[in-house]
Amino acid sequence: MHKTINSKIFYFGTPVVLISTLNENGTPNLAPMSSAWWLNHSCMLGMSGNSQTVTNLIRERECVLNLPSAALVSAVDKLALTTGKKRIPDYKLNMGYEYVADKFGRSNLTAKPAQLVKAPVVHECPVQLEAIVKNIHSFDEPSFLKAIEVEIIKTHIDESILVEDNQNYIDPEKWKPLIMSFCEFFSLGDKLHHSRLAKPFISQCDNN
């Protein structure tokens, strides 16, 4: 029996991304988000235009997408309800958001220089993707939501999650992303079933 409901959110479960960007004064900002999807070397980020991250992305046109493993859940949770924006929008104030200038300090995460962009990588994250902004779309006028298309230009992966005999691939059995589902944190379970797509897809990638 299905019920017809009026759900306020449709966050069915996606990996958390920590986006590092540079503020106008040159200091780094760091923000958790999870409305992201991936296609080839691109990623589409769904973010509120009220965030400091979007302000920084519009100005700097670059960022690092840092993917925390499930083991980093408490560091990520320390960033919840924080913003790098000094003037906090009313709806965020009502939710209990606070301005935090040093998000790396707040989360005990370490900023290290990236190679091609000015924003830092998060050292503790096993996946660090340097990216440039290609397009910024307004999501659903008149709201402040933006769909930001970025292109990944440099990929840094912790060797512990790479396929042993092919170091250009991430081993999905070793990678344990932090998942946000309906505003709660989860990890992934074990592999369920062999996928018939895996082998032909990977050989096609190798041939291109």
Ligand X SMILES: Cc1cc2nc3c(=O)[nH]c(=O)nc-3n(C[C@H](O)[C@H](O)[C@H](O)COP(=O)(O)O)c2cc1C
In the complex, which residues of this chain contact ligand X (CB under 6 A)? 16, 29, 31-35, 46-48, 51-53, 80, 83-85, 180
Least distance in Å: CB of 125 to ligand X? Answer: 14
Measured from the CB atom, the residue of 96 and 200 that comes closer to ligand X is: 96
Q: Is the backbone of residue 26 left (phi > 0), alpha (psi -120 to 50) or beta? A: left
Measured from the CB atom, the residue of 35 and 155 that comes closer to ligand X is: 35
Measured from the CB atom, the residue of 23 and 155 that comes closer to ligand X is: 23
Least distance in Å: CB of 205 to ligand X? Answer: 28
Least distance in Å: CB of 116 to ligand X? Answer: 22
Measured from the CB atom, the residue of 108 and 166 that comes closer to ligand X is: 108
Which residues, other chains included, contact 44 with Cβ-Cβ below 8 Å and sequence gap of 6+? 36, 37, 147, 148, 149, 150
Least distance in Å: CB of 47 to ligand X? Answer: 4
Catalogue the long-range contacts made by 77-82 (C-beta closer than 8 Å, 24 or more residues apart): 77/185, 78/106, 78/107, 78/108, 79/18, 79/30, 79/31, 79/32, 79/103, 79/106, 79/107, 80/32, 82/106
Least distance in Å: CB of 163 to ligand X? Answer: 28
Measured from the CB atom, the residue of 55 and 163 that comes closer to ligand X is: 55
Catalogue the long-range contacts made by 6-14 (C-beta closer than 8 Å, 24 or more residues apart): 9/182, 9/183, 11/35, 11/180, 11/181, 11/182, 11/183, 12/181, 12/182, 13/179, 13/180, 13/181, 13/182, 13/186, 14/179, 14/180, 14/181
Measured from the CB atom, the residue of 85 and 126 that comes closer to ligand X is: 85
Least distance in Å: CB of 53 to ligand X? Answer: 3
